[in-house]
């Protein structure tokens, strides 16, 4: 292949994996934008070099769902037509177990089939945050094929070294119009528990008074895309353990779970020493 030739590319998208990563990192509205209108981000992703995307495949669990800002479910099957309209073949990947839908295995097999196909693909673009693809990326490199990986921004050095280029989900989110605050940028690289803990610390640092637990949970969901219960209380197992982990805040009893206050508000005011 000459340097200035048009790349013949194949795109393989683990839909469930990417959309959940965007929802967790950048919020439900960004993930919904990715799912309902794929053409803008697809153009953003593929127009850095001259290329023809000859093969476009999307692996999706139709029974999966995305929660919006109000907690309503949008089932993945509703997004199928938008991807088909962009020339994607949508491959149903129903759950094999409670936690696994088998998309990664199906993707790996299809990539190997494409590698052996009569059509010579110069480039393979894999969209998945699964680190299990390292052996596959190395196999593609050994076959002298270019690889681009769209993955979590906190992906490890071993995974980065296996691909020719890596696009973080945070960059993809910005391509979808995500305007991130410094807190949001920091949260994208953290796991679910760390995100909730960091978000709670930020929310309580800006609070002007006691925050009802229900309101706190709503604000955490806005920041992270997760409810407190979905995150297992930031990975701590309980609200009291989460409050202790954040530090500097206290939960007080009251209706609907009570209130969370900054510890400094509970300290008695300092008294001035009597003047002589």
CATH label of the domain that carries residue 64: 3.40.50.1010
Are 212 and 124 in the same domain?
no
Q: Which residue has the higher pLDDT, 104 or 101?
A: 104
**Pairwise CA distance, residues 188 & 181, whole Å:** 11
Q: Is the pLDDT of residue 35 over 90?
A: yes
Res 99: pLDDT: 46
Q: Which residue has the higher pLDDT, 95 or 85?
A: 85
Domain contains 108: yes
User: Mean pLDDT across the stretch 201-223?
Assistant: 86
Q: Where are the beta strands (DSSP E) in the chain?
A: 7-14, 51-60, 65-67, 73-75, 89-92, 123-127, 146-151, 165-168, 211-212, 249-252, 259-262
Are 158 and 194 in the same domain?
no
Res 183: pLDDT: 63
Which pTM does this prediction carry? 0.69
Are 167 and 219 in the same domain?
no
Are 212 and 127 in the same domain?
no
Q: Which of 142, 175, 208 is where one domain is finished? A: 175
Are 262 and 153 in the same domain?
no
Q: Is the pLDDT of residue 141 over 50?
A: yes
Domain residues for 47? 7-175
User: Mean pLDDT across the stretch 27-56?
Assistant: 94
Res 195: pLDDT: 73
Q: How confident is the model at residue 185 (pLDDT cuts 50, 70, 90)?
A: low
Q: How many domains does the chain contain in total?
A: 2
Are 205 and 170 in the same domain?
no
**Pairwise CA distance, residues 19 & 66, whole Å:** 8
Are 170 and 194 in the same domain?
no
Res 86: pLDDT: 97
Are 67 and 163 in the same domain?
yes
Residue showing tokens 């959309």: 19
Res 191: pLDDT: 65
Q: Which residue has the higher pLDDT, 272 or 140?
A: 140
Are 156 and 200 in the same domain?
no
Are 16 and 116 in the same domain?
yes
Q: Is the pLDDT of residue 268 over 70?
A: no
Are 119 and 61 in the same domain?
yes
Res 67: pLDDT: 82
Burial 103-125 (b: 16+ CB within 10 A, else e): bbebbbebbeebbeeeeebbbbb
User: Mean pLDDT across the stretch 259-265?
Assistant: 89
Res 98: pLDDT: 46
Planar angle of CA 33, 34, 35, nearest 5 degrees: 90
Res 172: pLDDT: 94
**Pairwise CA distance, residues 74 & 78, whole Å:** 7
Lowest mean pLDDT among 55-64, 198-207, 228-237, 239-248: 228-237
Q: How confident is the model at residue 45 (pLDDT cuts 50, 70, 90)?
A: very high
Q: Which of 130, 145, 175 is where one domain is finished? A: 175
């Amino acid at each position: 292949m000459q340097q200035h030739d048009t790349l013949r590319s194949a795109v393989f998208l683990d839909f469930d994996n990417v959309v959940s990563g965007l929802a967790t990192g950048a919020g439900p509205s960004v993930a919904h934008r990715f799912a309902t209108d794929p053409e803008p981000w697809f153009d953003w992703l593929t127009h850095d070099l001259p290329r023809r995307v000859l093969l476009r495949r999307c692996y999706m669990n139709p029974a999966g769902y995305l929660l919006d800002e109000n907690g309503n479910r949008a089932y993945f099957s509703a997004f199928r037509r938008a991807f088909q309209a962009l020339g994607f073949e949508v491959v149903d990947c129903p759950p094999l177990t409670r936690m696994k839908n088998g998309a990664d295995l199906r993707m790996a097999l299809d990539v190997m089939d494409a590698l052996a196909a009569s059509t010579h693909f110069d480039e393979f673009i894999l969209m998945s945050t699964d680190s299990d693809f390292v052996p596959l990326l190395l196999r593609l490199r050994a076959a002298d094929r270019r690889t681009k990986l769209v993955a979590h921004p906190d992906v490890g050095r071993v995974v980065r070294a296996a691909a020719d280029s890596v696009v973080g989900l945070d960059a993809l989110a910005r391509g979808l119009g995500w305007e991130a605050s410094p807190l949001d940028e920091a949260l994208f690289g953290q796991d679910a528990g760390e995100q909730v803990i960091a978000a709670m610390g930020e929310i309580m640092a800006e609070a002007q008074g006691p925050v009802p637990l229900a309101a706190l949970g709503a604000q955490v969901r806005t920041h992270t895309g997760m409810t407190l219960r979905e995150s297992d209380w930031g990975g701590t197992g309980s609200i009291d353990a989460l409050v202790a982990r954040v530090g500097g805040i206290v939960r007080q009893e009251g209706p609907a779970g009570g209130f969370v206050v900054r510890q400094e508000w509970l300290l008695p005011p300092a008294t001035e020493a009597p003047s002589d």
